[in-house]
A and B are shown apart, each in its own frame.
Chain A
Amino acid sequence: MKKMLMGALAGGLSLMVFSQEVDPKQRAKQSLALRAAAQEVVLLLNQQSRWSPEDRLQLTEELSEEILENLKTYRQKALGKTAARTWVTAWRVYDYDLKVGEVMGAAQSQSPLPISIKDILKRVGPDWQVRCERGAKLFAENAVDLVYPQARERAVDELKKRMEAGLQYPTQAEVDEWLLGLDNEEEDGSTPLTQQAFQSLTDLIQPQVVPFETLLEEVSQEPARLTQKVLEVLWLQYQEQMNRVVEVLRPGMGEGGMWMADDMKRAINEGWETVAAAKPDARPPVYDVFKVVSLWGERAAADWEEAELVNFLQSWEEGKVTGRMLENIINVKPSAHLRPEESAEVLKEAVMEIREEQLVDTWMANAPAARKEALRAYYSEALTGEGHLVAAWEAEIDKNLNQQLPAIRQAFAEKQLKAFYPGLANDEPLPESVILWFYDRELAEARESAQVRQAFEMEEDPDAVVFSETGSLAVEVLNEELKPGLQSLTAQIQLIREMEKEGMEVLKASVAKGLDADVLYDQWLKVWQQRWQGIKETQDPRWQEMMRRTSDEMRKTVRQWYVSVEENLAEVKEVVSKNPPEMQTADVEAPNSPEMTPVEVPLEPVSEPKGVEEEAPASDVGDVEDAPKPDAGITEELENFRGKADGVLAFSDLGNGDCRLLFGSPDGKGALSVGFDPENVEASAQKIAEALSGPLRDVLNGTASANEKGGFRLFTRAKEPTLSMLFQVDSPKIRHQMSIQVRQLIQQEIDLWAEEKGQQAPVLLWQDEMGLWTE
């Protein structure tokens, strides 16, 4: 109780003291000032979102400064608008804070008692901050569309000014480095730099002359423009300097005392002394003479000397290189001129040696007496050995040689053709042996002079003593006659092949009737000549008659078939009696024997050298009864292997679990087809060997005969006889073991045959194509 009384007493006392101390009028004035300030703040809050045109100028200025300070943020105009909106919002809040500060200052000045910002804002209300920010956002929404474009435009203008002011012209050293770099890139150092070459510096110098990393998109082209401006300055000054050099280079030899490159260099250097002094600090700077210009001047002086020489040479009539001069030089030692390149070098050296002294004397004829000896010595040195004008002189001589030398050499070649290739230079027709040389080698034409020499069987090689053009001329002249001859011979042989294909049955029938081989040959010759009548008109008139090779080939073909049919006469007669063939001519009839195939009678083309007697092939036909019966399908299948090997062993599936072996040469000889069980390798190999023994021996016999005559198609032209066999497998059932077994059996058969015949066994070339089924 006592405590309560004491507390009440103390409170009353303090209230009394307070009430005595605080004047009501002062307190009222404080309240009024506080209220007025709060009212003012409320008014500010109400106006926070309101856009006033008076704000535009200030806001535009400040926003443009903001853009310039934060170029990265405002780089793109569209994206920068968002940032601008945020900034305007903040600006408005800040503006509000400033005005509230002013209001508080005014309130404090009007109040005798202290007033704090806290009191004012408390009086305004608890949501003043939310209202302030919301109002600022609304203000920004309204203002940004009006202010941002103007502020940006202002910033862009200012930025352009700054860039212009901040443009850094390169130093003399930098420009020299750049231009020397350009000069080094030029292939021809004598050509001045082009404005296009200057343009190629753009990317290199732009970061240096316009050192702005982040820019507004509106001025993104400004660095390029300013760089162009700098390049334009450099280009103009370069041009001006170059013009001075060119002016100095204008006089000709002897004009103004210009007799050599050093005179010109001296004149150029003296010209630089009249150029305006460099002003590196000026904007744009005035540069000193560029190093590249100085270097170009030196090179141009040297080029001037060379150009003057060329001009003189072109107008120097008495020093011209003539055809007679060249012929004389060639005649001194023709063997030094076999090839055109070597000849040109020899001729060039000779001409320079002859003309050097004359050239210097004539060129320097008008030189001042005081300098004449020095100039003669200087140019003598320049035009001999490795002198700096030798190349120019050589080029001029080369021009003359290129114009004259081909005709001169051609004339020499024609003379040499008559001397060294008499067979080509006369009016006689080309010997058939020459044509056969190319025909037997399946060559359609002559391609080199060595072939000409071999075809004509010349003992000495003319290439060692004639011009290269002479060999070419010989080839050309030969081909002129050779090509139609080869074409005619090919057509004639082809006609025999066609007759062989079409008239085989008639031939068999004729043999069955007992006609003699010579009679048959006459019949074939007659038929050939009848059919050739329709073909020969298309051939060259020089080669329309039947050639000796054609006659031989026909005789050989008839004989082979005759022998073959005669050996199987009984069967042939039986077949012919059942199926009489349609007669091709009144005298010729042919049987239709299915057993008779070309396998039984190998047909080799006859290409023996002239004078060699044709012999009947030794027939050692095997057991044809056991041999598989060939048919047209087998022959067609075998044709697919043409060019791959002399003989083919092709394995494939039959569909019933067994496999099939197709044997024969690509042109159908020895064709047979054998079925076997692939699971039983050894038995199958044995069966295949037995089936092959007959056809294989026929082939071997034919091979031996061909080897004797040097032209059996199943054998290659190697000295040692060979037989290439292709072992092709298209069945997954055939194992590698089969290839080995068959190869061994065939090798045994070859060895056995060779032993019986007492001949050299041909080398078996085994091509194994097991395909995907190789083990």
Chain B
Amino acid sequence: MRNRPDAMRQIRSIDDLVSSSPTKLFSLSPNDALVQISLPLVLILAIMTRLMVIGQTMTAQEESPAILEMWKQQLIFRIDQVMDDWAAEAELPAFPDASRILWEGAFPADERFKILCVKSQILNDKDGLQQRLYEQALLPESGGEGPRLVLYDPLASVKPENVSALPAESLITPERREYAMGHISDRILQWRKQVEGLQWTAISETAARLPLDASSEAADPSAELRRIAHELSQRGYPFLDRVTQEYEVAQ
């Protein structure tokens, strides 16, 4: 009699197996699946991600000095301020990509892009722009917010008053100037890359839109580039030399 319940259970199990279809083996409903499987997974992923971010932050805090040097802080801050001003003036922030350029027919019809092109001409003289932005950053700012450290670079054209009274912290040594120039150069390169991208896209678009000239002589890409660049320049969109002289450089 003790075996009777076990026997019945075995029989039921066999009946279940026999009577059950394959779909019945997975008896979870979609809601059950979402609650019982997906949500715990999402939760686990979120926790892991957060933990990774925290880990990275802690690593970064361990690697960087806790406190920046004053000259560096002041100089980078001023350089960024000057360069931000220039970028805003050149309408660079308005064109994160070429799709922002306005077109009319085969050519751009966009004043801001025109300003960008004109303004960006200075990028043709990267070293000059670099030097000018650097010296603008060295200029003492009148009526500025809070106390600011006066910076002095003996090699720069800008000279603060009472240089002899300045602390050693204010003096820009060659090493420090190199660091500052590197910082400016990196950003100018980013600008130039952005402008070149915009202008190449404009050229590509113009080349595609501009009707073919039946009376034209035999053409090659460099001639087409020169012609389009010339047309755009005539319309107030001067392009960078690195763009217009692409094929000459290549040659």
Contacts and interface: CB of A to CB of B under 8 A. Distances in A.
Contacts of A32: 203-204, 207, 221-222, 224-225, 228
A201 B214 CA distance: 67
A19 B97 contact: yes
Interface stretch (B6-14, B35-43, B193-201): B193-201
B212 A29 contact: no
Q: Which of A25, A28, A35 has the most chain B CB atoms closer than 10 A to its own CB? A: A28
Given A31-B203, A31-B207, 13 more contacts: A24-B196, A24-B204, A25-B200, A29-B246, A32-B204, A34-B207, A34-B208, A35-B207, A35-B224, A40-B219, A42-B212, A110-B221, A124-B212
B40 to A, nearest CB: 22
Interface in A230-266: none
A36 B223 contact: yes
A39 B203 contact: no
A39 B219 contact: yes
A43 B200 contact: no
Given A32-B207, A34-B207, A39 B216 contact: yes
B97 A36 contact: no
A203 B205 CA distance: 77
Contacts of B224: 32, 35-36, 39
Contacts of B246: 25, 29
Contacts of A24: 98, 196-198, 200-201, 204
Given A19-B97, A28-B203, A28-B204, A43 B221 contact: no
A40 B218 contact: yes
Contact of B220 (A28, A30, A110, A124): A110
Contacts of B223: 36
Ranked 3 nearest A-B pairs via Cβ: A24-B200, A28-B204, A32-B221
Contacts of B248: none
A182 to B, nearest CB: 72
Interface in A109-167: 110-111, 123-124
Contact of A28 (B201, B212, B222): B201
Contacts of A31: 203-205, 207-208
A24 B203 CA distance: 9
Interface string A14-33: 00000100011101111111
Contacts of B204: 24, 27-28, 30-32
A54 to B, nearest CB: 16
Interface in B139-175: none
B46 interface: no
Contacts of B208: 31, 34-35
Q: Interface residues of A: mostly helix, strand, loop or mixed?
A: helix
A25 B196 contact: yes
Interface residues of B, number: 28
A107 to B, nearest CB: 8
B200 to A, nearest CB: 4
A38 interface: yes
Contacts of B196: 24-25
Contacts of B197: 24-25
Contacts of B210: 35
Contacts of A38: 212
B15 interface: no
A42 B98 CA distance: 30
B63 interface: no
A110 B222 CA distance: 10
A46 interface: yes
B96 to A, nearest CB: 11
Contact of A43 (B98, B201, B216): B216
A42 B216 CA distance: 9
Contacts of B216: 39, 42-43
Contacts of A42: 212-214, 216
Contacts of A30: 204
Interface in A199-245: none
Contacts of A33: 221
B214 A36 contact: no
19 contacts: A23-B200, A24-B197, A24-B204, A25-B197, A25-B200, A27-B201, A27-B204, A28-B201, A31-B205, A31-B208, A32-B222, A32-B228, A34-B207, A36-B220, A36-B224, A38-B212, A39-B212, A43-B217, A110-B221
Q: Which of A25, A38, A123 has the most chain B CB atoms closer than 10 A to its own CB? A: A25
A347 to B, nearest CB: 112
B234 to A, nearest CB: 18
Contacts of A19: 97
A43 B218 contact: yes
Contacts of B225: 32
Q: Which of B197, B200, B223 has the most chain A CB atoms closer than 10 A to its own CB? A: B200
A106 B219 CA distance: 11
B171 to A, nearest CB: 43
Contacts of A25: 196-197, 200, 246
Nearest to B201: A24
A298 to B, nearest CB: 84
Contacts of A110: 220-221
Interface in B81-108: 97-98
Contacts of A34: 207-208
Q: Which of A27, A33, A36 has the most chain B CB atoms closer than 10 A to its own CB? A: A36
A29 to B, nearest CB: 6
A33 B247 CA distance: 12
Given A19-B97, A24-B201, A29-B221, A46 B214 contact: yes
Interface string A384-425: 000000000000000000000000000000000000000000
Nearest to A46: B214
Contacts of B203: 28, 31-32
A621 to B, nearest CB: 133
Contacts of B228: 32
Q: Which of A32, A110, A111, A123 has the most chain B CB atoms closer than 10 A to its own CB? A: A32
Given A31-B208, A46-B214, A36 B201 contact: no
Contacts of A27: 200-201, 204
A12 to B, nearest CB: 12
Contacts of B219: 35-36, 39-40
Q: Which of B98, B207, B213, B222 has the most chain A CB atoms closer than 10 A to its own CB? A: B207
A657 to B, nearest CB: 109
A25 B222 CA distance: 13
A27 B220 CA distance: 16
A467 B216 CA distance: 121
